[in-house]
Amino acid sequence: MIIIALVLFLVFAALSVIHFYWAFGGKWASRAVVPTNSYGEPLFIPRVISTLIVAIGLMCFGLSYLIKYGFIGISLPEWFDKYGFWIIIFIFILR
């Protein structure tokens, strides 16, 4: 489980870094992830604040796995330890 926790942290951290990069003006791969219409125009332009919220959320998801498995010495609220990881899974199923 420790290896899985580390891998999950690295994946969430990498996704978070990419979102921070986009929030601060980066363009790499942004055209590949924003849906387009039949003319190739983006259906929406992600706002900086929403991109930052996603970046922070992804980093928190990754850190929560490090906390759960004892890499970071703080404790999660009982409700999060019980339901939070299911919430994370559900978010990505919806996505």
Q: What is the reported pLDDT for 12? A: 97
- CA gap 74, 89 in Å, rounded: 22
Q: What is the reported pLDDT for 31? A: 82
Structural domain boundaries in the chain:
2-94
pLDDT tens digit string along 66-87? 999 989 999 888 998 889 989 9
pLDDT tens digit string along 10-60? 999 999 999 999 999 998 988 888 899 999 898 988 999 999 999 999 999
Q: Which residues contact 53 (CB under 8 A, 6 or more apart)?
A: none
Q: What is the reported pLDDT for 75? A: 86
Angle between helices 48-68 and 85-94 (to 10 degrees): 140
Q: What is the reported pLDDT for 81? A: 84
Q: What is the reported pLDDT for 76? A: 85
CB atoms within 10 A of CB 80: 15
Q: What is the reported pLDDT for 58? A: 97
pLDDT at 63 over 90: yes
80 φ/ψ sector (left φ>0, alpha ψ -120 to 50, else beta): alpha
Q: What is the reported pLDDT for 94? A: 92
